[in-house]
């Protein structure tokens, strides 16, 4: 016995187009009648309806990558193209006076967002006494605040000093007795200061787990970055002393960062290349920007990628992919490390921007193919041909 399967589709008296993308079906009444005709329209990156695609991988392989282009980062009459100098000079020498005030704030040159590094350098050059107010201004980027009384308490923290660092067995045993094992679950936070004995040059660092951090220094495990590590490896530990400030009691989260920042503002700490505590990206860090497709509107910017993830609810893998490949997020937004000074700064809060992105995701999820093999088809009532 031969068995067959007959599928009946009931249609209205008007020609109706069905688009099948796996399990999704969309309708239109303005398409010429064709009998299950496959449609594929890649012209200008358009989708089935002639609209721009909202897929996250929109033209990811064929799209010209913005990062490789020459960038116009100012009005074409006033600024120059520059991609060989990492955009360190924004056109002619008078560009600063032509910057929009909002861009000055975004770039950290004015207003409440003035870069912490600028404040730190100004304080060091001034020669003035370090106050709690100055430290609060510098650490505002990580929402740390300290009172005058608490700062004084931290400065008076009891410390111990090791001068025979070349005797690593003794040094390791002392550190273990004072701070515990590097692999211990019980962590003692605090700060440490290396001093180059012959020159008096100093380095200060902080850690929430001093035993582990100092173990890396004593065994020279750390990468050769900055000034301290190469000097340690060149002249060995015998030419350094180590002072440690452990926080055994009355510890408040962030205290080690505050005390580190206090010492960073001391001019003698010349082995520290970065003058802001807990900021590994340093003064040379580049901000991240979110523009529209043609980069005429700036929606959001931050020096930290985590802000895009937490404030805008963008997955870190998705963000990194579009940033590195130069493709469009949701088909309409472009991430970049380059400031385009002609872009208009959109006055929108991160909360409202997150809501707007959520609406775009709904539209994107409605229209995107489920996979790269998905194809659209036309279903037409043959009786109405």
β-bridge partners, 103: none
Q: How many domains does the chain have?
A: 3
pLDDT at 224: 84
List the Cα angle 16/17/21 in 5-degree steps: 145
**Domain presence at residue 61:** no
Q: Which residue has the tokens 């211990």?
A: 184
Distance (Å, rounded) from C-alpha 179 to C-alpha 202?
22
Q: Are 210 and 339 contained in the same domain?
A: no
Q: What angle do CA 164, 214, 220 make, to 5 degrees?
A: 80
Rounded Cα distance, 105 and 123, in Å: 20
124, 203: one domain: yes
Residue 310, number of CB atoms within 10 A of its CB? 13
Residue 129: CATH number of its domain: 3.40.1440.10
Residue 383's pLDDT is 79
If asked whether residues 84 and 24 sit together in one domain, one would say no
Same domain, 43 and 192: no
- Six-digit token pair at 223? 């990468």
Residues 90 and 229 in one domain: no
> Which of residues 236, 260, 282 is at a domain's end?
282
Question: What does pTM read for this prediction?
Answer: 0.53
Expressed as residue numbers, the domain containing 25 is 1-53+377-385
60 domain residue, yes or no: no
Q: What is the pLDDT along the chain (385 residues), one digit of tens a residue?
A: 444 434 334 333 344 433 333 333 333 333 333 333 333 333 343 333 333 333 333 333 344 444 333 333 443 333 333 433 334 333 444 444 456 677 777 776 666 556 788 899 999 999 999 999 999 999 988 889 999 999 999 999 999 999 988 887 888 899 999 999 998 888 999 999 999 999 999 999 999 999 999 999 998 888 888 899 999 999 999 999 999 999 998 899 999 999 999 999 999 999 999 899 987 554 445 789 999 999 999 999 987 888 999 999 999 999 999 999 999 999 999 999 998 988 999 999 999 999 999 999 998 887 766 665 666 666 777 777 6
Q: Which of 234, 253, 282 is the last residue of a domain?
A: 282
Coil, strand or helix at 351: helix
- CA angle, residues 79, 85, 91, in degrees to nearest 5: 10
Q: Which of 96, 71, 37 lies closest to 340, judged by CA?
A: 71
Is residue 4 a part of any domain in this protein? Answer: yes
Do residue 309 and residue 163 come from a single domain?
no
Of 282, 306, 326, the last residue of a domain is 282
Same-domain pairing of 174 and 271: yes
pLDDT at residue 325 in the model: 93
pLDDT value of residue 299: 96
- Give yes or no: residues 258 and 362 share one domain: no
Asked if residue 6 is part of any domain, the answer here is yes
Q: Please indicate, yes or no, if residue 188 is contained in any of the structural domains.
A: yes
Q: Is residue 26 part of a domain?
A: yes
Alpha helices (H) in 109-183, listed in sequence order: 116-126, 132-138, 148-155, 168-179
Could you tell me if residue 111 is inside a domain? no
Question: Which of 129, 131, 133, 188 lies closest to 158 in space, CA to CA?
Answer: 188
Q: Is residue 206 part of a domain?
A: yes
Q: How far apart are CA 140 and CA 132, in angstroms?
A: 12
What is the distance of C-alpha 300 from the center of its chain? 12
**Residues 28, 19: Cα–Cα separation, whole Å:** 9
Q: Based on the domain organization, do 248 and 327 belong to the same domain?
A: no
> How many CA atoms, within 13 angstroms, populate the side-chain half-sphere of residue 379?
14
Distance CA 14, CA 207 (A): 72
Q: Residue 224 belongs to what H/E stretch? A: none
> Are 250 and 359 contained in the same domain?
no
Q: Are residues 71 and 166 in the same domain?
A: no
pLDDT at 311: 93
Q: Check residue 164 and give its pLDDT.
A: 85
**Quick one: pLDDT at residue 152?**
96
User: In this structure, are 231 and 89 located in the same domain?
Assistant: no
């Amino acid at each position: 016995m031969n068995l067959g399967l007959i599928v009946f589709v009931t249609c209205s008296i008007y020609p109706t187009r069905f688009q099948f993308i796996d399990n999704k079906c969309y309708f239109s009444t303005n398409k010429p009648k064709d009998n299950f005709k496959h449609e594929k329209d890649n012209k200008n990156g358009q989708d089935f309806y002639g609209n721009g695609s909202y897929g996250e991988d929109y033209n990811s392989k064929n799209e010209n990558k913005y990062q490789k282009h020459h960038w116009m980062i100012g009005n074409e009459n006033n600024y120059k193209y520059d991609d060989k100098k990492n955009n360190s000079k924004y056109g002619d020498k008078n560009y600063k006076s032509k910057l929009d005030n909002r861009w000055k704030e975004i770039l950290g040159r004015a207003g409440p967002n003035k870069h912490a590094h600028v404040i730190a350098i100004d304080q060091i050059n001034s020669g003035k006494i370090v106050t709690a107010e100055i430290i609060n201004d510098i650490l505002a980027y990580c929402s740390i605040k300290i009172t005058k009384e608490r700062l004084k308490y931290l400065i008076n923290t009891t410390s111990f000093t090791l001068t025979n660092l070349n005797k690593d067995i003794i040094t390791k045993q002392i550190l273990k007795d004072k701070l515990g094992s590097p692999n211990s679950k019980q962590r003692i936070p605090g700060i440490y200061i290396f001093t180059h004995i012959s020159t008096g040059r100093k380095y200060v660092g902080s850690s929430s787990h001093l035993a582990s951090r100092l173990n890396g220094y004593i065994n020279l495990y750390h990468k050769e970055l900055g000034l301290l590590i190469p000097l340690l490896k060149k002249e060995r530990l015998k030419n350094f002393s180590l002072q440690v400030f452990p926080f055994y009691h009355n510890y408040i989260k962030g205290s080690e960062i505050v005390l580190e920042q206090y010492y960073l503002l001391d001019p003698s700490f010349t082995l520290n290349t970065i003058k802001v505590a807990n900021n590994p990206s340093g003064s040379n860090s580049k901000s991240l920007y979110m523009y529209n497709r043609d980069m005429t509107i700036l929606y959001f910017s931050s020096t930290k990628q985590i802000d895009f993830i937490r404030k805008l609810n963008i997955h870190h893998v998705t963000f990194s992919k579009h940033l590195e490949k130069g493709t469009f997020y949701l088909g309409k937004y472009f991430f970049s490390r380059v400031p385009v000074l002609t872009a208009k700064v959109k006055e929108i809060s991160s909360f409202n921007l997150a809501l707007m992105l959520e609406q775009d995701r709904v539209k994107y999820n409605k229209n995107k193919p489920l996979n790269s093999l998905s194809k659209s088809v036309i279903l037409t009532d043959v009786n109405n041909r």
